[in-house]
A and B are shown apart, each in its own frame.
Chain A
Amino acid sequence: MAVTTQDLSVTYGTVVAVDRVSLQVERGSICGLLGPNGAGKTSMIRALTTIVPVAGGTATIVGHPLTDPVAVRSSIGVLPESNGYPGAQTALGYLRFYGQLYGMEAADAEQRALQLLQQFGLSRGQARISTFSRGMRQRLGLARALIHDPAVLFLDEPTLGLDPAGKEEIMVELARLAVERGTTIFLCTHLLDEVERICDQVAIMNHGQVVAEGTVDEIVDSSGAEGFARIRVRPEDVPVSDEVLRGTEEVRAVRFDNTRPGDLVVTIDNDHGAAATSLRALLDAGVEPRSFDFRGARLSDAFMALTSGRAGGDKVTEGVSQ
């Protein structure tokens, strides 16, 4: 395992930021750490990177316990959420400096810095960092975190403030690192679509605790998040469709789309069987839908369900009149 925690707790005075968290992250995998603001994600990362002391529990990074901070710090690369940069320094000088802090000779550090600058598309290595855009700084921060080729990379909101193209570049690079170099990546982000796309494992935190852990599919399935179907019928069939769907066990709510007469948005259980049952009920009632579009629950639905206390709620059948 690259990262293991057992009942890890972090406190600030009387405030419990991380509450007995137990996690295991496999080597070479990408673990997404999700949660609303204040859930304890940053505190968790700071504890694992030896920045804040742990109040209880244990943790190891590639086998090194947190009680051996020098070994842990030698094994990790970190891009903090609020990462400042020395504007007067050049990108090359900045990376070379960090390389030397990790024990490289100046010439080797420079060589590695040049390699990373090229890898991250930062051709202006001799330019002062103050002239860099936000996206360039984030890429420089990522390069800095990788200067010593760490076994585990901790990234706290690495795409914050980047445009879509910049986000995509970072995500592609992270996936490449995990696959090609076997780097374990601990990714803290609010970009749920990206997490769905690149993370092998996800942990969702809320109020300092891990409320769900597993693969994206496992979390979605266990969250009780609901699926949705958008059904289009003839406007004159709307009343009977409403009645039929309300009477179907798998349907939790029916809503009309006022902007599209004849469209019904149906909240149903998160499986294709529920969708099929709803469709069959309509057909049996003589309603022929013009379209039936089922969208299963996604990570964002699970996230909302798990962090807003709406998971696994009782069935709600409601109709909103036109």
Chain B
Amino acid sequence: MTTLSAGSTSTDVAGRTRPATRWTVIARYELMDLWSGGKGLSILFGFTLVLSILAYLASADAGINLLDARESVGLLVTTSIALGTLGAMVVSADAISGERDRDTLESLLVTPVPRRHIVVGKLLAASSVWIATLLVALPFAAVMAGGPGVMSDAVTVLVVSGSLSAAALTALGLAISAVTMSNRTSLVVSLAVLLALAAPSQLPAVRSSTTVGPILIKLNPVSASLRLAENVLVRQEPWPDQLVYFISPALAAVVFTVVAIRLAGRLELGGSR
């Protein structure tokens, strides 16, 4: 029997501490570290700056009839999804491998907190970056939409499709962070994966293809989200035909989250002896 004597510690009869809500403790701590430490605010500032410049240029173009409101909003929404997802992924890719590099992981791993609680807490904290960027993007979309119809489409795409895409890549970044032994490797691999996923929707050959191209875009969670935004906001295609573009982001969000949590069981300190 353990001789633990911390009187206020929640222990069961076997002397074990109860891990029931440890992920909330981790999430709160990580959130504080992310936002009071300045990293989250820096990402948000950069995001807001890009969106402001984009909004200004789009408005100016609209003023001289080079870009209509739907195209402006489409550009803003796709940019918001891409950059917001990037921000959340960068934070999640740093979440575990960064702790390894900063020598703070060992102290965490010797606590009785289950590994999956550590991963879930960090996942939630990293997801806050997407939520923050979403909250910044929504007013921009509302102002640039110029009408309730476009605005509701833009909000739906951002909230549903963008969130699914961001959730998928945040979990993927965390999974990469869990298995890579250096922070640099984790960040490089995560960014490479994001680029590899985002690129197909931008390649002329894929865009113009009528056979393989659409399948590739629908299978890819990032390109599916970007294409959905373009189809709904710019091409004004009806919603029922676009629901297929939700499938891969939703599946990816579930699969990558499960993978990240399962990898938590194999969370290792790594590094030197």
Which residues from chain A sit less than 8 Å from chain B, CB to CB? 12, 15, 17, 27, 38, 42-43, 46, 49-52, 62-64, 69-71, 73-76, 78, 80, 82-89, 93, 97-98, 100-105, 108-109, 111-112, 141, 144, 147-151, 182
Q: Digit string of B1-26 for contact with A (CB within 8 Å is 1, else 0)?
A: 11111101111001111110010011
Q: Min CB distance, A208 to chain B, in Å?
A: 11
Pairs A-B, 7 closest by C-beta atoms: A103-B17, A84-B103, A108-B8, A88-B37, A151-B3, A103-B10, A84-B104
Contact, CB under 8 Å: B109 / A51: yes
Contact, CB under 8 Å: A73 / B104: no
Q: Min CB distance, B95 to chain A, in Å?
A: 13
The chain B residue with its CB closest to the CB of A50 is: B110
Contact, CB under 8 Å: B15 / A74: yes
Contact, CB under 8 Å: A43 / B103: no
Known: A51-B269, A71-B16, A84-B104. A103 touches B110 (CB 8 A): no
Known: A86-B33, A100-B25. A148 touches B4 (CB 8 A): yes
The chain B residue with its CB closest to the CB of A82 is: B103
Which residues from chain B sit less than 8 Å from chain A, CB to CB? 1-6, 8-11, 14-19, 22, 25-26, 29, 32-33, 36-38, 99, 102-104, 106-114, 268-269, 273
The chain A residue with its CB closest to the CB of B3 is: A151
Judged by DSSP, the binding face of B is loop
Given contacts A63-B1, A84-B99, A93-B32, 8 further A-B contacts (CB under 8 A): A62-B3, A86-B33, A87-B37, A101-B22, A101-B111, A102-B17, A105-B10, A149-B4
Which residues does chain A contribute within 8 Å of B15, judged by CB atoms? 71, 74-75
Contact, CB under 8 Å: B16 / A88: no
Which residues does chain A contribute within 8 Å of B2, judged by CB atoms? 62-64, 71, 74-75, 151
Contact, CB under 8 Å: B9 / A43: no
The chain B residue with its CB closest to the CB of A150 is: B4
Contact, CB under 8 Å: A80 / B10: no
Known: A78-B110, A83-B103, A149-B4. A102 touches B25 (CB 8 A): no
Contact, CB under 8 Å: B110 / A104: no
Contact, CB under 8 Å: A88 / B9: no
The chain A residue with its CB closest to the CB of B35 is: A88
The chain B residue with its CB closest to the CB of A152 is: B3
Complex Cα distance, B5 from A27, in Å, reads 15
Which residues does chain B contribute within 8 Å of A12, judged by CB atoms? 273
